Chains A and B, each alone.
Chain A
Amino acid sequence: MRALINKFFAQLGVWGWTALVLIPFFFIMLFGTKDTSDIYGRPLNLVYKPQWSNFSSAWNVGGVNGAIGHWFINTGILVTTALFVSLVIAVPAAYFTIFLPPKANRRVMVTVLSGTVVPTILLVIPYFKAYNQYHMLNKPIFAGLAYGVLAIPTTFLLMNRFFLDFPREVLEAGLLDGLSNSKIFRKLVLPLSVGQIVSVGILTLIWAWGDSQIAIVLLQSQESQPISVGMLSFAADFTTNLGATFAGLTMAAIPPVILYIILSKYVTKGIALGGITK
């Protein structure tokens, strides 16, 4: 009997949390397709005529044609740069480091690890100063560079741990077949590491996509903003047009969730592997 009651409360708890998690996503999509007067008048009514014009108003937020489109492009440039920098720099280094003597390998790991604990707040003002001095402000590609470098420590640590467990027999077989060391890395190791690289890359992508603390400082002009910063002015612009606000939130929040559902295998793996070092 006691066990049954326990089980009942456990079930109740998980359903409750699931509902709490889903509420925003449900209402973002519901209100995004509702007329504003309907949102105020009959907010919970599920039978209504969809108001698709909300999306076109949201798309041209602030009277700028295709403003959200620009933000998406900026986010795209920023995230792509960040992924490119972090992977191209960190993955080969993480691989070749495994051949260092264990002591040296550990010393490299500890040095890199210390890079994961630096608080962002200590960095943004010097970044602003330097970017301003070298005319790199308001350019998504340079903001992406900063995000990419800040993602290097996590990328390096997770890949290094993965390569350490890589079967040595494969590398030796490559050597016996007469492949050069860089060919072993490119032709043998990389293709077998795709899953891990995707997992680690997704951690970087989630972070760079959503963060606003660095972007708000380095990308200040309206036309250079990524979606995470642009959205901030969004709510203020649409206090009277709730429908459009929620249509905008739908466009910003739903694509990452769908991408996550498709790639959830990699996301869960990336986190289980030690995403906690971010």
Chain B
Amino acid sequence: MSVKYESPSKEVSTSSTQGRNLFSRKKKPQIGLNAINIKSARITLIPVFVLLFVFLALPMINSVKLSFSRWGGLGPLEPVGFDNYKFLFSDTQMRYSSRITIFYAFTVAFFVVAIGTLLAAAVSANVRGHKAMKLIWFFPGIAPPTAVAIFWSSGFQPESGVVNILLGKIGLGSDHAWLASSDTALLPVIFVGVWSAVGFAFLVILGAVEQIPVSLREAALVDGANMRQQFTKITLPLIRPILMTIFTLEIIWTFNGFTVVWAMTTGGPSDSTSILPILAYKEAFRYGRFGTAAAMAVITGIFLMVVGTIGIRLSRSEQQ
């Protein structure tokens, strides 16, 4: 089987050169290289697949099984059929949580991609200080989410919080108690979600922008386009596939995002910021209703897989 086999880099990667393939075919040492290594490949892949099966596939199957059962944390599972799902579909908190989770995920993802794109455009236009900014803008992505979330939740407190102090200094009042009210508690959480995720999106988008040949952008300038036109007519269309990908990923990550919300509000006040991962966590580990929690997890998982598939399809079709 190794005789038929050419260089894999010819098939899969784009950076291999013709000369390299010619060279290796003439000498033919790769027959020996491949034959023995295929055996090594099989051996080294075994632990990969075993571990992924034990830590990913099995738990997923168990979650589905659990979602059709009642279980309080001890003893055997008690099968209950579709009861957990029936309960969740008529539960007002579940409906509310699904709604705010979707709202939260899409809002954060939208602002992250929008701000990340604007910052990448500014840096690729060589604004002053862009080297240092590139470094600094990833700070929020590197600091532990728990720590920054605790900082911001203290910052949003009325009077003593940094945000309120600064707003007070510029005359906008220092007594905003956003986190204390069910109507407004989600806003600071969205802000922190955006704040901490922009750095990563920015770096990925910048990477895509920098891959656009300089000659293309220069040609546009020669043709009389200004900076803004160059951005909207050349850069933006070319990076749209990557924007779609990162938008999808941000939705998935924010949807899953437990730490920021938990550290800021633990889902409160009165469950107004309980996105689905938090609702499921509380259901299982606070109230000991593991069956309903698993059903929530399964519903969330199905939703995310649908979003992921649509997102990947869209970004693929844009690439073609």
Query: Closest approach, in angstroms, between the C-beta of B12 and any C-beta of chain A?
Result: 5
Is the pair B297, A125 in contact by a Cβ cutoff of 8 Å? yes
What mask results when residues 191 to 219 of chain B are scored 1 for a CB within 8 Å of chain A, else 0?
A: 00001001110011001000000000000
Q: Which residues of B contact A209 (CB under 8 A)?
A: 144
A60-106 CB contacts (< 8 Å) to partner B: 85, 89-90, 92-93, 95-102, 105-106
Contacts known (A11-B128, A121-B280, A121-B297); A228 close to B45, Cβ less than 8 A: no
Closest to A276 in B: B204
Is the pair B59, A122 in contact by a Cβ cutoff of 8 Å? yes
- The complex places the Cα of A149 from the Cα of B48 at a distance, in Å, of 8
Residue of A22, A96, A260 with most partner-chain B CB within 10 A: A96
Is the pair A168, B20 in contact by a Cβ cutoff of 8 Å? yes
Selecting from A51-59, A193-201, A248-256, the interface stretch reads: A248-256
Contacts known (A101-B1, A172-B24, A271-B200); A112 close to B52, Cβ less than 8 A: yes
Closest to A212 in B: B259
Partner of A106, one of B12, B148, B207: B12
Query: Closest approach, in angstroms, between the C-beta of A115 and any C-beta of chain B?
Result: 5
B305 within 8 A of A: yes
Partner of A272, one of B1, B129, B204, B259: B204
What mask results when residues 144 to 163 of chain A are scored 1 for a CB within 8 Å of chain B, else 0?
A: 00100110110010000100
Contacts known (A11-B127, A231-B147); A100 close to B258, Cβ less than 8 A: no
- The complex places the Cα of A153 from the Cα of B57 at a distance, in Å, of 13
Q: Which residues of B contact A17 (CB under 8 A)?
A: 115, 119, 133, 137, 198
B1-53 CB contacts (< 8 Å) to partner A: 1, 4-5, 7-9, 11-13, 15-16, 20, 23-24, 27, 29-30, 32-34, 36-38, 40-41, 43-45, 47-49, 51-52
Interface SS of chain A: helix, strand, loop or mixed?
A: helix
Is the pair B148, A93 in contact by a Cβ cutoff of 8 Å? no
- The complex places the Cα of A187 from the Cα of B293 at a distance, in Å, of 50
Count contacts on A: residues with CB < 8 A to the other chain. Answer: 105
Partner of B136, one of A18, A175, A231, A268: A18
A190 within 8 A of B: no
A224 within 8 A of B: no
- The complex places the Cα of A192 from the Cα of B124 at a distance, in Å, of 31
A136 within 8 A of B: no
Contacts known (A181-B37, A276-B204); A253 close to B52, Cβ less than 8 A: no
Is the pair B8, A100 in contact by a Cβ cutoff of 8 Å? yes
What mask results when residues 101 to 119 of chain B are scored 1 for a CB within 8 Å of chain A, else 0?
A: 0000000000000010011
**Residue contacts A-B, CB under 8 angstroms, 21 given:** A2-B226, A92-B44, A99-B34, A99-B41, A101-B8, A105-B8, A115-B52, A121-B256, A121-B281, A123-B60, A125-B297, A168-B20, A168-B24, A211-B259, A235-B153, A249-B147, A260-B138, A264-B138, A268-B134, A271-B204, A276-B246
Nearest 8 pairs of A and B residues by beta carbon: A126-B59, A102-B11, A99-B37, A96-B41, A126-B62, A213-B258, A93-B44, A272-B207
